[in-house]
Structures are given as structure tokens and as C-alpha cells.
Amino acid sequence: VIALFMVGLVQILVFLTPIAVGYAFFRDKLAIPDLDLSNLRFEPGTMLVGALLLLGGFTVFTGVLVAIGAVMPTAKDAGTIFGPLMALIFVPFYAMTLIISDPNAPIVQIFTYFPLSAPVTALLRNGFGTLSPVEATIVIAELFIIGFLILRLAVHLFRYGSIQYSSKLSIAGTFRKRTAPAGK
């Protein structure tokens, strides 16, 4: 689980490093316009909410991916579940105009509080200034609590899934009380 967190952080750095290097050293050759940062407002509260939403969402997705990996014996089997999960993550981008124009719409509210779409929706709403402090607190708490519970479940499943690699792991079977043989 820690390794997956580290891989995620490395991926973030891999995507940001070329952008930073290109802007810093090759701005003229790449025709990147100068950024006028004079109008940029530094809002620590909004930035903190964004960072917490990112970290909470990352926790939820990492836990879900570890759980899928523990339950499925092969990557092919895991792919059938992974695809729809990735779609759920990106669904808010398809509703971007609605998120911007009517953040109180019922579907936007569902996306804001549903754990798999909440990080992206809440980050968008936070960036556009339509996420209230109460909503932000609820979503951040939800993501960290659900993320923690999913990680606990993933570790539990991984403990049994690493033993049973020939077939799919029965989630219910991992929770049945194991009895020790008589005389031990």
C-alpha cells in the first residue's frame, strides 16, 4: 500500500517535471506565453482544501485498487472491474458545464458526495469557488474515513488473496471465523 502511494507521487512528479522544465528553460522555443501572476490571489484555505481533497481521493483510489488486486488472480480479471471504476472517476468531467453553472443540481450533489466521483467533483467545485466550507469539511472527512476503511479491507483481503492466487478470492470467505484444528 505504501509502495502504491509512492508510485502515485512519482507519477505526479513525472507529469509535473517536464512542464516545469519546459516553462523555466524552453518557454521561448516552445512558444509558451508568459504567465501574468500579478492577478493570482494566494488563498491558503482553498489550497489546503484542494490538497486534502487530493490526498483523500488518492487514499480512496489506492485502497480500491489494492482491494481489486487482492481479490483478482490476474490482471485480465482485474481489468473488468478497473475499467468501470476509472469511468466513475472521470464522469464529473463530462458534467463540467453543469458543475460550473449549477453546483446545487441534484446530480452535482450526488457526484460531490459519492466516494468515487467526490474527489474530482469537489476539486472542480473548490477551484471554481462553489464548494462551501461545510461541504468541503463533509467531503474531506468522508474521503479520509472511507479511504481508511477501504485500506483496512484491502489489507485484510491482500492477506488472504496472496495465499490464494489460483482463483478469485471470496470476500465473504475471508471474514468467516477461522477455527484452529482440535488439539492445537
Tens of pLDDT along the chain (184 residues) come to: 677 778 878 888 898 898 888 877 877 777 766 666 677 778 888 899 999 999 999 889 888 888 887 777 667 777 778 888 888 888 888 888 888 899 999 999 999 999 999 999 999 999 899 999 999 999 999 999 999 999 888 887 777 665 555 555 555 555 565 544 444 4
Do 57 and 99 fall within a single domain?
yes
71 and 18 in a common domain? no
pLDDT, residue 57, reads: 92
Co-location of 21 and 55 in the same domain: no
What is the residue range of 121's domain? Answer: 43-166
Indicate if 25 and 85 belong to the same structural domain.
no
Residues ≥6 apart with Cβ < 8 Å to 157:
66, 67, 70, 71, 169, 171, 174
Residue 60 lies inside a defined structural domain of this protein:
yes
Same-domain status, 112 and 33: no
Residue 122 and residue 67 share a domain: yes
The pLDDT of residue 124 is: 92
For residue 53, is it within any domain? yes
**pLDDT for 171:** 57
Please indicate, yes or no, whether residues 16 and 75 belong to a single structural domain of this protein. Answer: no
Please tell me the predicted confidence (pLDDT) of residue 123.
92
Amino acid, res. 49 = V
Asked whether residue 180 is domain-assigned, the answer is no
Q: How many domains does the chain have?
A: 2
Residue 24 in any domain: the answer is: yes
Residue 147: predicted pLDDT: 93
Sequential DSSP letters for 5-22: HHHHHHHHHHHHHHHHHH
Its pTM stands at 0.71
The verdict on residue 92 lying in a domain is yes
Distance CA 44, CA 112 (A): 22
Q: Both 142 and 72 in a single domain? A: yes
**Residues 55, 94 within the same domain:** yes
Q: What is the pLDDT of residue 35?
A: 67
